[in-house]
Amino acid sequence: MSNSYGKLFKITTFGESHGAAVGVIVDGCPAGLEISVDEIQHALDRRRPGQSDITTPRKEEDRVTILSGIFEGKTTGTPIALVVNNKDQHSHDYSHIEHAFRPSHADYTYTAKYGARDYRGGGRSSARETVARVAAGALAAKLLQHYGISVQSYVSQVGSIKLRKPYQELDLSQIDSNKVRCPDGATAARMIGLIEEARDTLDTIGGVVSCVIQGVPAGLGEPVFDKLHAELGKAMLSINAVKGFEYGSGFEGVKMRGSEHNDEFYTDEQGNVRTRTNNSGGIQGGISNGQDIYFNVAFKPVATILQPQTTINDAGEEITLKGKGRHDPCVLPRAVPIVDAMAALVIADFLLRQRANKV
Amino acid sequence: MSNSYGKLFKITTFGESHGAAVGVIVDGCPAGLEISVDEIQHALDRRRPGQSDITTPRKEEDRVTILSGIFEGKTTGTPIALVVNNKDQHSHDYSHIEHAFRPSHADYTYTAKYGARDYRGGGRSSARETVARVAAGALAAKLLQHYGISVQSYVSQVGSIKLRKPYQELDLSQIDSNKVRCPDGATAARMIGLIEEARDTLDTIGGVVSCVIQGVPAGLGEPVFDKLHAELGKAMLSINAVKGFEYGSGFEGVKMRGSEHNDEFYTDEQGNVRTRTNNSGGIQGGISNGQDIYFNVAFKPVATILQPQTTINDAGEEITLKGKGRHDPCVLPRAVPIVDAMAALVIADFLLRQRANKV
Amino acid sequence: MSNSYGKLFKITTFGESHGAAVGVIVDGCPAGLEISVDEIQHALDRRRPGQSDITTPRKEEDRVTILSGIFEGKTTGTPIALVVNNKDQHSHDYSHIEHAFRPSHADYTYTAKYGARDYRGGGRSSARETVARVAAGALAAKLLQHYGISVQSYVSQVGSIKLRKPYQELDLSQIDSNKVRCPDGATAARMIGLIEEARDTLDTIGGVVSCVIQGVPAGLGEPVFDKLHAELGKAMLSINAVKGFEYGSGFEGVKMRGSEHNDEFYTDEQGNVRTRTNNSGGIQGGISNGQDIYFNVAFKPVATILQPQTTINDAGEEITLKGKGRHDPCVLPRAVPIVDAMAALVIADFLLRQRANKV
Amino acid sequence: MSNSYGKLFKITTFGESHGAAVGVIVDGCPAGLEISVDEIQHALDRRRPGQSDITTPRKEEDRVTILSGIFEGKTTGTPIALVVNNKDQHSHDYSHIEHAFRPSHADYTYTAKYGARDYRGGGRSSARETVARVAAGALAAKLLQHYGISVQSYVSQVGSIKLRKPYQELDLSQIDSNKVRCPDGATAARMIGLIEEARDTLDTIGGVVSCVIQGVPAGLGEPVFDKLHAELGKAMLSINAVKGFEYGSGFEGVKMRGSEHNDEFYTDEQGNVRTRTNNSGGIQGGISNGQDIYFNVAFKPVATILQPQTTINDAGEEITLKGKGRHDPCVLPRAVPIVDAMAALVIADFLLRQRANKV
């Protein structure tokens, strides 16, 4: 198990989907940061189930409690423990999945790894674990805000419906203006239609979240292994259902010539170093260059579908399984605050690490 | 700086492109592994400059020396230091780049980060650092071989020329049969033509390396943060010029429905758990499931081009810069052994970590 | 802040003395270990305030709750969160210490480090944090028990009253037979008398805890930096009020000649490698040699005394301060389970780490 | 194996006593520090064998080479590799120890741990490994000097001959004025006599090194686990032959009452917070308080003696063994620069870590 992330701004999460609680310890948040429980709750509310008819209709309030590390409205430098109790963790019937290996779930791999598993829902492999990340991310985002850095994610693709506009042509203040969290209204409407169709056919659909980070000073990232984009990639790939990560020109950039792809430097009127294009995605040699950072994260379709599927049980026998209960037909709208959280955690960590690099 | 990678099988690299040497300490290689200097040298020879007319014509022998940790042909459990001396590190003239910020290089970001930089070539940001990774990767690959695990990478795309066949239809023993390291002869010929054209027009071109890992037992990977694919992603993204990573169905998979994408389990005739499709890329919930692992890595076009480019110097003044010397028109053929090395290091580390997971 | 300890069997603690709760996440406890909440509670009961008239008369029940990681009576390999709520955390009056720097407390240093501090009691610097360690240590001890390893600590010195017998001449089953936790009844009685005298004169007194670890196989410890005794030393020195650590012959051993000090090897009747003496304390070159491990830990007198003392406030002004409330006149009896816990955590971690050392 | 130390100022060492070389990578030394090879060499010269007739008469020059990380006389922020070649590593005859388990050496434990060992001398368990520490320590010491911090160690005890004066009464500039490195001439003479007597009787003798660190600002140290004294303790205990560590009042302090032991605060004429006594050894709650830090380190007598000893071989058979060659009768004089190095490394690391603790 490895349930910690970050080197100086470090989080450690715990909790199963149907256990008593999920939570996080944030160790290394600098002292003196003003933060209220409401700010953390606000981030959790964006991730909460039941927020619209294209997400799971499960009703969970996900109220966060602060157990330590914040005193008189400010961080003290000591570890901050945040806990969210699970509702009704004892009331469900898991007999249909206790012995089943659900297709494209982690039932089989957890059993292979640990010899047994908590079969109540996804247990530790459930995306419910991301509650803890979002809570911790709210602290990181507050730290970034203190230094003038913003993180903004949005849904840029659902199935084959792709938002073609680059982020510069979008109004990112509109991300939360619709239930799919795509800041382009027309595209959002089409995405919503596609998700509804998937839902109504008892199926699910994947998509892409794009993220833009602005205000990052030049110099963040720790080569040669902890390059800024390498940590962003790891952080994103650690989120449930993620299948790919690209930044700047990404996979499309491989088709370009160096003469097209290179970002020429210039000095702007304020005397700042800037680049005329930004195929680098704000990162060169693994270090931020002061331009906007942007990247894409691919999410597969949710594995739980309400149709019958053939699979095996833990005795190796073929069985037919059908999803029960209330599940997301598309994870994308609720993935947005999770991408925001992980991105904020990565940048916060590098912000602190950079302080050690010069005499 | 963060020049270490791995938790139990850990490497720490050092060295600048034009300093005295590059090298690596491997700490945590299990005792009792048979390894010869020739096996390490063989891996380095696949990465070596000057190996063909579509790579840099620089001649460097890159001879490796073992300074510690191997005794009587076997690892002893103590740290293994491997060093490769640089040739001619004092003979060059760097006056044209001493003060320049080359486009899409790390000159500006290293200066922003550290206050100054070693301006002899790329210094620490040069891909010459990967010599150390490849040497260490040879040790990891030997460990994997001991456990029946193989790692095989190949070039699957150069520019817009893409190998459409999945790896199952390729003869991976043919990877080294041509100079571009694409196991499909016809596609390889087209890729070589494209690289030659880029070279002859004083330009560069990007591409994709695909990697297949076979023989990995179910159970490797350490959720929730050190998921197997998250570490593979970080390891790949830490390689110079990499812009993206996807595994299994990747970015294309987002277009699929859950009912198509899910990999149904079955029990094969030998009683092994298997899946009928492998959109999961051999990894579910961040843990290997015993099927083949496969992923793609996107490389941008090399930033150094032999055409004039406009940029600025460290005083902020606009200058014109033209690449000198001998550079790769396409990094892909030489990137293959680097992807092999990093993949082997990731798997080796998880192989050791898995030993601690059960009573 | 650094609130994590251990590399594979890793704990992360949180909580202030007068905050909502203290607790711990144990990440890396192997799956399949049987453990009950009662076993954890039993360890906490040995540490609990109010257990005798020579410890603090504060009444705290310190009931532990398991939030995750244990399912159907066994560990699952996922992180185990343990929480102990604090009682009455809002009811106290801290006005007398809000601005004071208490002598030999951490008030000044926390303020210097973080710019401010949680002034309710010791905050994070309070020994209440060790509740979390003891809870986690119970898990580690259970793992050790599974492998036939025992950890037994006892009070060997209070003030100048020193138990002269080596551990081999003691009946370690008698440790809990008296309230000072010294297994020699006569010495225990004298120690108790001394603590009572200190208490009655509104003063405090220091002492030494000795620890014996039996059943450790040869091979544990990770040179050159994570030597077995180096980690034991760090773990002990991280406990509140500890001033020194020595193992085997310790500080007395420096007076010996090599010819006296060396432990000659022999083969016993069962064919086991053994040493005739054990000045090495069971550790050679930082690695266990299969003999008993033993060490001593020095604790200073408790800093809070009920007499007036001169000191300064955070404005730098001289003030007179007098301890209030209910405090331990001697920390030693309650330190025993804390030493047990930290020793168990160290050995458990090395037990897991050793699994990675051979092909 | 664990051959790395430090979190931000991190060293990784390699090399066996009779292999090709020993060396170190320093990762995390801040950029912009001026350092010359002579400064590193000077530290190594204090540790070098053959420096006097009370140390081993082996002649080794121990010339250091810088392979990376320093450019134009300054650190660049990239990893600094330092290598010292071993002399004559192939010329010796080890047949007498190839199969022997030398008493109180690590021959048996390394074999138990790794299944085999490099039997040429002590291999990795030899104190020759500390060459790497001393080289790295010179960099750390230079960084400390930049911030006005000094580290000074000296021999305070050999056998039963103990320097009774506290460090405040000594002239620490006289540490190197005699060959035993005790700054009190009269005591030094007695120590030297005792070492000569041990040497002449083919025996060895232990002792204590004391260390004083001055100029450390208040605020260094990372509770609750990485307390300043806990890391100092671990660092010291990781040095070959060390058996104990105590700081401030140490083991003697346990005899004191709280009322005696507590260090009262006052404000000095310059307005600085100070303590009237310093039983705390400059550290309270694991954090420096701005007063002098001081501690003691106990070294056992060297295990290699030139007298015959009974032991066993790796077949479990009893054998008689006699040390050959040239060995130190007392490790203390040469241990002084090693204690200096490790102390400097600990403080340098905490200096950098402290930068992350406040907004």
pLDDT tens track for B120-134: 888 999 999 999 999
What DSSP string describes B285-338? Answer: TTEE-SSPEEEEEEEPPPS--SSEEEEEETTS-EEEEE--S---S-SHHHHHHH
In the block, tokens 């260059």 appear at A289
User: CA of B345, closest CA in chain C: separation in Å?
Assistant: 15
Residue to substitute from C259, C272, C277, C319, interface D, most D β-carbons within 10 A: C259
CA distance D36 to D217: 26
Surface of C (182-201) touching A: CB under 8 A: none
Say which CATH number the domain at B74 has.
Answer: 3.60.150.10
Q: What is the pLDDT of residue B316?
A: 95
Q: Which residue does chain D place closest to B16, by CA atoms? A: D68
**What digits encode the pLDDT tens for the residues C54-99?**
888 777 789 999 999 999 999 999 999 999 999 865 556 788 889 9
**What digits encode the pLDDT tens for the residues D63-84?**
999 999 999 999 999 999 999 9
Residue C336: inside a domain: yes
Residue D359: inside a domain: no
**C125 labeled part of a ligand binding site:** yes
- The verdict on a CB contact (< 8 Å) between C106 and D287 is yes
User: CA of A190, closest CA in chain B: separation in Å?
Assistant: 14
Between C161 and C56, the more confident residue is C161
Surface of C (12-71) touching D: CB under 8 A: 13
E strands in chain D? 4-5, 10-14, 21-27, 64-66, 70-71, 74-75, 80-85, 100-101, 150-158, 161-162, 207-214, 242-247, 265-267, 273-275, 283-284, 287-288, 293-299, 308-313, 318-322
Identify whether B224 is preceded by a cis peptide bond (ω within 30 of 0): yes
Q: Which residue does chain A place closest to D354, by CA atoms? A: A356
**Cβ contacts (< 8 Å) between C207 and chain D: which residues?**
254
Q: What is the pLDDT of residue B58?
A: 74
Residue percentage of chain A with pLDDT more than 90: 89
Question: D177 in helix, strand or coil?
Answer: helix
User: Helices A332-354 and A228-237: crossing angle, nearest 10°?
Assistant: 150
Residue B359: inside a domain: no
Q: Is B115 on the interface with A (CB under 8 A)?
A: yes
Residue A174, domain extent: 4-354
Nearest CB to A4; choose among C16, C27, C110: C27
Torsional class of D4: left (φ above 0), alpha (ψ -120 to 50), beta (otherwise): beta
Q: Is B143 on the interface with C (CB under 8 A)?
A: yes
- Total domains in the fold of chain B: 1
**Cβ contacts (< 8 Å) between C8 and chain B: which residues?**
353, 356
Q: What is the pLDDT of residue B88?
A: 60
In the block, tokens 């010791």 appear at C122
Subunits in contact with chain D (3 or more CB pairs closer than 8 Å): A, B, C
In the block, tokens 């406990």 appear at C239
Q: Is B322 on the interface with D (CB under 8 A)?
A: no
- The verdict on a CB contact (< 8 Å) between D108 and C267 is no
| Integer Rg of chain C from CA | 21
- What six digits make up the tokens of A167? 């982020």
Q: Is D359 on the interface with A (CB under 8 A)?
A: yes
**B302 labeled part of a ligand binding site:** yes
Q: How many CA atoms does the CB half-sphere of B323 hold within 13 Å?
A: 22
Q: Is D230 on the interface with C (CB under 8 A)?
A: yes
Q: What is the pLDDT of residue D89?
A: 58
User: CA of A88, closest CA in chain B: separation in Å?
Assistant: 24
Between B220 and D87, the more confident residue is B220
Report residue C162: phi and psi, to 5°. -120, 135
Q: What is the pLDDT of residue D48?
A: 92
Yes or no: say if A120 and A89 are a contact pair by the CB < 8 Å rule.
yes
Residue B90 has pLDDT above 70, yes or no: no
Q: Is A117 on the interface with C (CB under 8 A)?
A: yes
User: CA of B139, closest CA in chain C: separation in Å?
Assistant: 12
**C303 labeled part of a ligand binding site:** yes
**Cβ contacts (< 8 Å) between A251 and chain B: which residues?**
208, 243-244, 246, 251, 296, 298
Burial class (CB in 10 A: 0-12, 13-18, 19+), B52: middle
Residue A179 has pLDDT above 80, yes or no: yes
| Mean pLDDT along residues A236-245 | 98
Is ipTM beyond 0.95? yes
* Number of neighbouring beta carbons within 10 Å of residue A51: 16
Q: Is A219 on the interface with B (CB under 8 A)?
A: yes
Q: Which residue, D264, D260, D253, is CA-closest to D291?
A: D264
| Mean pLDDT along residues C5-10 | 98
**What digits encode the pLDDT tens for the residues C190-210?**
999 999 999 999 999 999 999
Tens-of-pLDDT digits for all 359 residues of chain D? Answer: 699 999 999 999 999 999 999 999 999 999 999 999 999 999 999 999 888 888 887 777 899 999 999 999 999 999 999 999 998 655 567 888 899 999 999 999 999 999 999 998 889 999 999 999 999 999 999 999 999 999 999 999 999 999 999 999 999 999 999 999 999 999 999 999 999 999 999 999 999 999 999 999 999 999 999 999 999 999 999 999 999 999 999 999 999 999 999 999 999 999 999 999 999 999 999 999 999 999 999 999 999 999 999 999 999 999 999 877 778 999 999 999 999 999 999 999 999 999 999 99
User: CA of C176, closest CA in chain D: separation in Å?
Assistant: 22
Identify whether B37 is preceded by a cis peptide bond (ω within 30 of 0): no
- What six digits make up the tokens of A118? 């908590």
- The verdict on a CB contact (< 8 Å) between A246 and B248 is no
Question: C245 in helix, strand or coil?
Answer: strand
Give the pairing of strands A287-288 and A4-5: unpaired
CA distance C2 to C22: 16
Q: What is the pLDDT of residue C90?
A: 56
**What digits encode the pLDDT tens for the residues B29-57?**
999 999 999 999 999 999 998 888 888 87
Give the pairing of strands C74-75 and C70-71: antiparallel
Residue B279: inside a domain: yes
- Is the sign of the CA dihedral C216, C217, C222, C228 positive or negative? positive
| Mean pLDDT along residues A20-35 | 98
CA distance B23 to B82: 5
Yes or no: say if B170 and B146 are a contact pair by the CB < 8 Å rule.
no
CA distance C22 to C85: 6
pLDDT, averaged across chain A: 95
Residue type, C47: R
Q: Is C143 on the interface with B (CB under 8 A)?
A: yes
Residue A292: inside a domain: yes
Q: Output the known binding site of D.
A: 47, 124-126, 240-241, 285, 300-304, 326
| Mean pLDDT along residues B277-292 | 98
- Is the sign of the CA dihedral A97, A101, A103, A108 positive or negative? positive
What confidence category does residue B91 fall into, taking pLDDT thresholds of 50, 70 and 90? low
**Cβ contacts (< 8 Å) between C358 and chain B: which residues?**
30-32, 77
What confidence category does residue B324 fall into, taking pLDDT thresholds of 50, 70 and 90? confident
Give the pairing of strands B64-66 and B70-71: unpaired
Nearest CB to C31; choose among B28, B355, B357: B357
Per DSSP, chain B holds a count of helices (H) and strands (E) of 7, 19
Nearest CB to C30; choose among B31, B33, B357: B357
Q: Output the known binding site of A for FMN.
A: 124-126, 240-241, 285, 300-304, 326
Residue D269: inside a domain: yes
**Cβ contacts (< 8 Å) between D103 and chain C: which residues?**
262-265, 275
- The verdict on a CB contact (< 8 Å) between B251 and A256 is no
User: CA of B149, closest CA in chain D: separation in Å?
Assistant: 23
Q: Measured in whole angstroms, how far is the alpha carbon of residue D14 from the centre of its chain?
A: 17
**What digits encode the pLDDT tens for the residues C220-260?**
999 999 999 999 999 999 999 999 999 999 999 999 999 99
Residue A359: inside a domain: no
- The verdict on a CB contact (< 8 Å) between B355 and C353 is no
| Mean pLDDT along residues A98-116 | 96
Yes or no: say if A351 and A147 are a contact pair by the CB < 8 Å rule.
yes
User: CA of D315, closest CA in chain B: separation in Å?
Assistant: 19
Nearest CB to D25; choose among B12, B74, B118: B12
Residue B345 has pLDDT above 70, yes or no: yes
Q: Output the known binding site of A.
A: 47, 124-126, 240-241, 285, 300-304, 326
Q: Is A204 on the interface with B (CB under 8 A)?
A: yes
